[in-house]
Structure formats: C-alpha cells, structure tokens
Structure 1
Amino acid sequence: MQMTFKFSIVTVLSCTILSACTLLKAGDSSIQLKPAASTLLNQCDQLSKFNYPHTAITSARMVASGGLTNAGQPVSEHCLVSGQMNRRISSIDGETYAIGFEMRLPIDWRGRFLYQANGGTDGFIVTADGGASLGSGGVLRNGLQLGFAVISSDAGHNASQNPLFGRDPQARLDYGYQAIGSLTPMAKALIKAAYGKEPDRSYIAGTSNGGRQALVAASRYPEHYDGILANAPGIYMPRASVANLSHVKRWDSVASTRVVNGLPDYESSLPMAERQLIASAILERCDALDGMVDGLVQDTEACRSAFNLNRDIPTCKANRDGTCLSAEQKNVINAVYAPVKLPNGEQFYPGFPYDPGIAHPGWGEWKFRNSVRTARNPVSVGFIFSTPPSSDLTLAKDTSRAALFALNFNFEIEMPKIFATDNVYKESGMSFMSPPNATQLDRLRQRGGKIIVVHGTADPIFSIDDTAAWYRGLDVHHGGQANRFARFFPIPGMGHSRGGPATDQFDALSALVDWVEYGKAPDQIFATVRGTGNPGGLNPDIPSNWPSHRSRPLCPYPLVARYQSGDKELAASYACVR
C-alpha cells in the first residue's frame, strides 16, 4: 500500500513558514506540551551580578539592532552575557580549564531557550545566534531572530588547548556531555533573572559533533529539553574516526602523487575528475528512479542495487585519464564504501551509499585532507577518544607526524583504545562521546519531547547508514511507533552538514517548534537550493543548470520524494511515498 503526503494550501498556511506538517493522528498517547508564551526583557546590565554556583559573569551589555546581521537582515536589539563555569587547574597537564559561554537574550522573547551545540572538537565560543547549530545551509532566520534566548559554549576548553585537552579526564567529559549538564540549568536560571520566568520550552540543536551533543541531551538530559534537532550527528563519533583512519593505507596504495608540500597527497587517489565520472554514472543509473531526471537521487535504497561501480565505470586499459578507473582503484573505493568489520566479522562501522554528492569538494576534505593536512582524525583519535591518550605530543603540532600516524594506523591495535578505561580515564571514548542507550528514549517521549534528525546522503565522514540504523533501532524499541516523537529526514546529495548538489536550505527548527508546541508532526520539510541571489549565500556545489528557485520536500525515512505532476522544479510537484 502506497503512503502519500502532499502539500496543500491549507496545510502550508496552518504551519510555520518553510515547514510542512499535519496534526498528530487520533489515538496518539503522546503528551501535548503547551506553547511558549512571550514576554519582554526586564534587565541586562544588572545580569553582571547574576549569582550561580561556580559561575562568573564577565560582562553583560546591550547589542544594538544591526550589531549582528543574518541573510542581509539586521538582528534586533538584544542582551549579550558572557561568562565561565567550573574554572579549575588540571592536575594532569597544569592547564587552566573553564566552560566558557555567551548568551544572547532578545528584548521581545518568545519564551523559548535554545542550546546551540557546536561542531568539531569545539574550543570556540561562536556567536550565540542559533544559526550555526541549525544545520541548514545559509539559514534565513536564525534562532535569535525567531525570538529564542540562545547559549553557545566552548564545551570546557579553549582553542589553544585543542586537541591536547584530551589528556585531561574532566575536559574529556565536559566535551562529551558534562558541559551541557552544567550549562543548561545555569542558563535557565539566568533567563529567569532576565525575564522573570524560566523558559516555557527548551530546545537543543547542533550539527556534526553538535548533532551528537543534541542526541546526547535526548538520552542523558531528557528532563531539560522538549525539542531535539540533530544534523549529520556523529552518533558514534569515535567509531567513525577510527573507520576513516583505517582506510588511509588503501588510499595511499592508489595515490598517483605521493607528496605535495611535504605531505602525502591522498586526494590523487581519487581526484575531482574521477569523482565526477562516478557521480555521472550514479546519476545515469539512479536519477530517474524517483520519476524525474533532475540531478538528484532521491531513492537511495533502490540505487544500491541499480548502480555497480565495477560494471558502470570503465576500467582503465592504460594510464588513468579521468575517463576510467584502474582495477586497483575500484577495489579501494568499494572497500571504503563497505562496512568496516572487526577480525571476527562483526560490523564495526556501517558503509556509505553511493551518491552523486561524491563530486563535491567537501567529500575530499573529509576522506583525504582531514587525515593528513588538517590532522583532525589522527589527533581526535590519538588524544581525545583513546585511553590512554597518545604520549607523542608532536602529533598535535606537526602535521607530518600526524600524517605518518594516519598512514601507519593499525586498526587492530588502535581500535580497542576507544573502548578502554584505566585509573585516570574512567570513562572510555565511546562512553563519554555517545548517547547511552541511544535507541531507548522513553523518558523524552513520555514527557512529550520530540526529535528531528536530518542527514545528507553524501556525508563522507558520518555515514547516513549509521543514522538510519539508529532510527530503525529506535523504532523497534518504541514498538514501531517512533515516528510519533522522532523523525529522520535524509537530504539527497548533501555532504557533511551542508553543501553538495542538494536542496540544503530549510527551517527544521520551526518544524520542530510546530511539533513540540502545536502537535503538528512534520510529514515533509520544505527545502530549497542556495542558487544565485540567495540571501543566505550561494552554495558553490550547485550544478550550473539548476535553477535558483528549485525546491523539494525532504521526506521522513523511509519515504522518498517522487515526482507526481506539475513543474519539476517545485516541491509541490512531489509526494513523499514508499
């Protein structure tokens, strides 16, 4: 039986702009939370005297309208509060640590709190406007513009301590989850001091590591949050990083250029011209599976059997020239896309689906350069996720040493370290980085909380197959009814967090608010490209023949956006069906 959901004028007008939604089905036993209520800011400068345990406010001042802008529009006047929590000196490395934060409080507050979970290895207090956390490319209205009180933090260490903060056990825990646990009640108390009441509704949103943090909050702190928004979540980030490093030797075996500027050039293993060759072949086999040839592969599942790298890409008979792949390359690519397995055959980390987004520059950034030139994967595994952390401090200072660590990475020796503990590091990397019992979110569900997860099908570092497996496990645990409180939206063509040949501009936060506070479950999320003239900024990965007004519905897994009738460039011409 085919399940179909389409836009209607009534539905669109009844929901927040840019979200598509319907009322929860009759008989749903979920608690319906009440909508938040607006109020005005009572004070700002006086918040410098805010008193909370282990907290020091360093400044509190008003920021004039236009002091921040987003998508070419001024952000309204608001209060900016900066401070620190839990300042201490480490007995391990002698460094001074603290959880640095800033909060931005709008004058006209809508009664909502947003924890802005940040990406990467953190260490930066990015502007607390709720934009960077939303995961959409070029977000047109950020959380501050939507009337949220927003907090951003460095997760317990500063940039100069990256990645060596991983030697300090408490800094590890703060980065993994405890900064959220410390900051959240403090932020709500500060909001009460500013407005005369705590937030009516609380949300956490983030992308990449921030998406992981959002799901950690769903698991560890469900009593603190009503809505969870996670983009490209590294649910089991240490596994993903180890899996990525396990492929470096494979890429090295087919690299055509060994060294560039003193470092290995693994991107020569599969340069852009060859990735474009693969993308074209994927489109040839899979583009029409959704009923429309448009440069997007909506039916990722059907594409798994429709596309075959060995069959559909010519094998070079002589030198590589961008029109073929060598037999050795094909073996390597197939291995990289396949699940990583333990010696006993058990799956360690899922594989990746073939997607035309392989041709966008960010794919190479994560598959190649972050293992060598930026050294992000080697130092994360070496210092933050492993027990004990590496004793070779040069890994953090010398990219050539990090590149050597990646090339010589021994999976069977290094992999167990992310599960290990000792007398100093009493939680393993997998423990402090992962949401415990990630598929068992009964406490959040029972109190009416909701989750939206979005993930690009072309993400090269955190596999969308891992997120899909998490959602299936969630559905099994919750009796086949996970969609009553959690929905997962794959984004065709999108790379890690944003970009790629994709409709990557959308407003999932408003869709989440509609669901949490008004019971309007998102059966689609309206998404657009970021073409020429887009106020949120151009996505350079958009093919030149895509019109700048292209829109598509993002469909909840496992439904697929299939063409029905009408203008092929408009979301209303597509339906989310099996």
Structure 2
Amino acid sequence: MRSTGVLVLMVVGTLAVSHSAVADERSDACHQVLYAFSQPSVTLIAARFVEADGGGAGYCRVAGTVLPDVGFEAQLPLPWNGRFYMVDNAGSGGRVNDRRMADARRMGYAAASTDQGYDYATEGDSRYGYNNRQKEIDFGFRAVHVTVVAVKGVIEAFYDEPAAYAYFVGGSAGGRQGLMSAQRYPDDFDGVLISAPTLNISKIQMWGLWKAQAMSGDGYVRPDQMPALAEAVYGRCDGLDGVMDGVIDNPLVCDFDPEAHLARCDGAATADCFTTAQIAALAKIYDGVRDSEGRQLFPGQSPGAEIAGEQPPWMAARGPQSAWLDWVVYPESDTARYLSLAEAFMKYTAFDDDDPDYDWRTFDFDADPARMAAMADIVDADDPDLSALRASGGKMIHYHHWADTAVPPVNSLNYFKQVLETMGPVDDFYRFYLVPGGFHAAPGVGATNIPWFETLVAWVEEGEAPGELIGERVEDGEVVRTRRVCVYPEMAVYDGNGPEGSAESFVCAAAPVVR
C-alpha cells in the first residue's frame, strides 16, 4: 500500500506540474501579444490569460485603445475555431459587451467589442456628442471599423494565423452598427447578421418626440388600458392568416383603426374605453410622423405589439407584459424610455448648436428634420447602395420582429425596398425577414428559437443560400408551436388542413398589403 501511495503522489504531482506548465505557457503566449502586435494609433493596455472556470475554454483577454479615444476588448479562446465574431453594444454603447463576447467565445470564436469611443458613466445618453464632433464620428461609424482592424491584428499575433472568417452580429443600435459596416466598410466582415436596426437613428429619435407629444396632456394612455387595446386589435386581425392563435402574422393586412374600432368613453377614461383625445393620440402612433402638409416622415407602429408577451432577459422579472409599455405608454409618474433617449439626442447630438437646455416640446416637424441633416450623414446607416458589399463577397441577413415598439418594423421594410429600387434583386447576398409576434429584442408572442447565425455561417462558408426557416416557440422547456419564417415578400399562411401549431401546416406565400 505504501508504494502505491507514493506512486499516486508521483502521478498527481506530475499532473499538477504538467497543468501548471500548460497554464504558464498559455499565460506567456497571451502576454507576448503585447509585444508581437503593432499597429499605428493602437495601444494594447493589458493581456491576461483567464483559465476556464466551468464556463467554457480558457481565453486570452486583451484590452486596448485606438486614438483618439476608442476602447475595445478581445477574448481569444483556446481551442479556437479559426473565426472572428464581433458583437454589438448593449443599448447605445459606452462600454464593451462582456456578456455577448462570452457567449461567442464559449462557441470557440475569437470575440471582440468596442465602447464606441465614450464612457457611458460620464457621457451616456448622447452626452458624448456635446460639442465633440470626433466622438460623434466614432459613435456613428468609425469605432467599429478601427476595432475590427485592431482585433484582426491581435488575433494573428496570438494564434500566428489570421481568422478564416469574420462575422458581425447585432440588434437595435447594434443592428445599425452592422449595417453601417456593410455600407462603409464592406471588407470588414464576411457575414453580417442584424436585427431591428436603428438604421436612421436621427429619425428614430424624432419618432420618440412624436410619441411623447401624442401621449402628453389629454392624449395620455394608461398602462391599464392596454388589454382593451390588445383585444380590439387582435379581435380585428388575429385570424387573417387563417388561425386564431394570438399572433398577427402580417400586420400589413390589418386594417385596425382606433377611430372606428375602439370603445369610446362617454366621460373619463376607464380600463375598458378611451377618450376622444386618447383615440386621436393612438391614431397618431399608428399613422407615424407627419409634417404639417401631411407627408409621412417616419412610419408608425404596426398592429400586434399591444398584447402581453415575453420580455427580454433584463426585463424578465416583470413577467409577460405588453410591448407598448416603456416604448409607447408608461406609468404617469415616470418618464418614458423613448423620451429620455430622444430628448438627450436633441440636446447634445442632433443639431450643429448643442443646447443642454433644449425643450423637446419645441421640436418643429416641418423645419427641424433639415437641421439634423449634418448629424444624419454621420450616424444614419440608410444608404441603399450595397454594391460594395456585393462586390466584396459579403453576405447579410436582416430580420425585424413585427411587434417591435422601439423601432417600427416598417422602417426596416422601407429600407429593404429602397435597396431593391436602387439595385434590383439582391438575394445573392442580402436576405430580409419579418418575424411575426416578436417584441424588441424579445420573443414576445412569437418564435423563441430561430437559427439565424447558423444560417448565416452556412451561407458564407458552404454557399447554402437561406430560404424559409423554422421558428420554435418554447415554453417551460417544451416546444409548444413551430412556424415557418419566410423570406420577404412571402409570409406564412395556414393551409387550412394540418395542426395549427405545426410549421408543416403553413406555406410561405406572397401576402397582400392593405395598410
């Protein structure tokens, strides 16, 4: 027994030394990136190897800056799958996105994120732009590009070979980042996956002011009135796809009209009826931003988001609630999220003359859009000419949830139509999907799982062009419904025969447009 114990101790000791040697080797290799990497205007601040702790592979964590003030981080896993995955910023930026980098790194990707050139703690809510054109440019388009250039160099310095493929994945403000990259720097990524992009962010902030003006004063709609609004909308439009399933598959054929289809109160508003002023406010929300001549400047809210549904992870504690909460209606004691964002943008970024005392109520929908033109040229990713992306060989998948209340889905649809008008057919490199029932960055009442990224990778690396996909609705760990997700202009329509909860009972077909 004594000799066996000695042998065990020797083996354990050898393993410990071996493990320690590997750890030291990895740590040294990571640290050497500080010396092996060299690019003008780029400074690497730190490089440290982080051992695996049950959350996936160990990785080299590199932090750096690009002049004048763009911060970035890269997470380089071992083993590595040979690919680069750029993640977007949560919200409007101001910090690197640790959570999404970790998700990508655990899949074997070398992951990176940028702070977009500012610190949210001191310069958030558009304050980065206060009398600072450079920071506006960094936020608008430059930060992602210079981060990509730097991180591709860091990857090669650490692994001794370049990434075989580069991908960008982002939604909302991150969707704008990805679309901006596709337009301005088409060689940065082989594949771009974007969702609900704030592509023309200057107009989206204008939309926030429009909603705030509509919802102020007598037009204010209370959160407890949302079930009545949802009942009216869904009673009118839920069955248009052939099934009554709590999902409006094609809001474009929904002819819901607040003036005609809502119960009108004889006196004060209740949870079951709406005053004349409230109905007028809701009509403005659905109709969109217009100038005094009646010209639409920005699309309105699509029907379908009124119903309670699954919220994004950071709001999950609230339980299911209407997508209108926070993004359209809000408790009377609070300031709406969209108003806070829009007001700050107007104060510090929108105009040539920044004014911290700007009063959002004074926004002129006739004159002020033109005053934002210079900033729109910097921050809006709405160029419909994607010929450079096509020439680069890059691929892009763009999707938008139909029940999004932060960024109207018709905004994405209008952009895609402009691309078609500019370029003709683009299905060789660009596919667009409209997804029923989904909220902003959340499943809402729609599909929980859709294989977006896997589909993009197969297109880029195997040449498998995407078509209709299958979305799953998962509740309590069980798949309760599947549905076809169709490439626009087709949408899922019930065939009238099979189970209503099965994708096999639906076909993708060109859908009519009423609205």
| Matches of 1:530 and 1:384, distance apart in 2 | 41
Kept in 2, the 8 Å contact 1:313–1:325? The answer is: yes
Instruction: Give the Cα–Cα distance (whole angstroms) in 2 for the partners of residues 107 and 237 of structure 1.
Output: 38
Question: What TM-score results when the alignment is normalised by the length of structure 2?
Answer: 0.84
AA at the equivalent of 2:503: A
Asked if the contact 1:491–1:504 (Cα under 8 Å) also holds between the matched residues in 2, the reply is no
Q: Provide the alpha-carbon RMSD of the alignment.
A: 2.5
CA distance in 2 between counterparts of 1:325 and 1:369 reads 16
Q: Displacement of 1:406 after TM fit?
A: 3.3
Cα distance in 1 for partners of 2:451, 2:105 equals 14
Deviation at 1:41, TM superposition (A): 12
Q: Tell me what 2:40 maps to.
A: 53
Q: Is 1:147 the equivalent of 2:98? A: no
What's the counterpart of residue 558 of structure 1? 489
Q: Deviation digits for residues 492-535 of structure 1, max 9, x if unmatched?
A: 122222242221433311111111111212212332335224xx
Change (3 A) 1:150 1:357: farther
How many Å separate the matches in 2 of 1:570 and 1:280?
Answer: 25
Aligned with 1:490 (options 410, 425, 434): 434
Q: How does 1:217-296 map to 2 (within 5 A)?
A: 217-254=181-218, 269-296=220-247
Residue 353 of structure 2 aligns to a residue whose secondary structure is coil
In 2, are the aligned partners of 1:78 and 1:105 still within 8 Å (CA)? yes
**Take 2:445 and 2:268, find their aligned partners in 1: how far apart are those partners?**
29
Evaluate the alpha carbon distance shift between residue 61 and residue 507 of structure 1 in structure 2; reply closer, same or farther with a 3 A threshold. farther
Q: 1:130 to 1:229 in 2, by over 3 A?
A: farther
Are 1:366 and 2:327 an aligned pair? yes
User: Which structure has the highest helix share of the two?
Assistant: 2
1:123 and 2:94 matched: yes
Q: What is the deviation of 1:130?
A: 4.3
Work out whether 1:198 is the aligned partner of 2:162.
yes
The separation in 1 between residues aligned to 2:411 and 2:86, in whole angstroms, is 25
Secondary structure, aligned partner of 2:327: helix
**Compared CA separation, residues 270 and 66, structure 1 to 2 (3 A):** farther
TM-aligned CA deviation for residue 177 of structure 1: 0.3
Deviation of residue 357 (structure 1)? Answer: 4.0
Amino acid at match of 1:198: P
CA displacement at 1:215 relative to structure 2? 0.5
Task: Kindly provide the CA deviation profile for residues 322-353 of structure 1, in whole angstroms up to 9, marking residues without a partner as x.
Answer: 22222221111111211312334433112222
Counterpart selection for 2:281 from 332, 353, 356? 332
Q: Work out which of the residue numbers 344, 347, 353 in structure 1 matches 2:302.
A: 353
Report 1:162-561 matches (<5 A). Answer: 162=124, 163-167=126-130, 168-254=132-218, 269-303=220-254, 305=255, 307-357=256-306, 359=308, 360-368=321-329, 372=335, 374=337, 375-392=340-357, 405-412=359-366, 414-419=368-373, 428-435=374-381, 438-479=383-424, 481-533=425-477, 549-561=480-492
Shift of 1:121: 2.6
Q: CA deviation at 1:209?
A: 0.9
Cα distance in structure 1, aligned partners of 2:243 and 2:213: 39
Find the aligned partners of 1:42 and 1:292 in 2 and give their Cα distance: 61
8 Å CA contact retained: 1:59, 1:81: yes
Residue ranges of structure 1 left out of the alignment (5+ in a row): 1-39, 68-73, 88-97, 132-141, 256-268, 396-404, 420-427, 534-546
d(CA) in 2 for partners of 1:219 and 1:165? 24
CA distance in 2, matches of 1:449, 1:217: 11
User: Which SS does the other structure have where 1:151 is aligned?
Assistant: strand
Partner residue in 1 for 2:18: none
Instruction: Write the distance in 2 (CA, Å) between the matches of 1:570 and 1:448.
Output: 36
Contact 1:554 1:561 in 2 (8 A): yes
150-159 vs 364-373, which moves further: 364-373
TM-superposed CA distance for 1:251, in Å, is 1.1
Residue 166 (structure 1) shift: 0.6
The answer to whether 1:569 aligns with 2:514 is: no
The Cα shift of 1:385 comes to 2.4
Q: TM-score, normalised by structure 1?
A: 0.75
Q: What is the identity percentage for the equivalent residue pairs of Structure 1 and Structure 2?
A: 26
| 1:400-438 Cα shifts (integer Å, max 9, x gaps) | xxxxx334444345433311xxxxxxxx210111226x2
Higher relative contact order (CA 8 A, sep 6+): 1
Task: Say whether 1:99 aligns with 2:63.
Answer: no
What amino acid maps onto 1:388 in structure 2? Answer: D
Q: What secondary structure, in the 3-state scheme, does the structure 1 residue paired with 2:227 have?
A: helix
Q: Structure 1 pair 216/512, CA: closer, same or farther in 2 (3 Å)? A: same
Offset of residue 272 of structure 1: 3.0
The answer to whether the 8 A contact 1:357-1:493 is kept is no
What number of residue pairs does the alignment pair up?
464
Measure how far apart 1:169 and its partner are: 0.8
> Who is 1:65 aligned against?
52
Residues of 1 paired with 2:153 and 2:79: CA distance? 18
Distance 1:380 1:499 in 2: 28
Aligned residues of 1:214 and 1:230 also touching (Cα < 8 A): yes
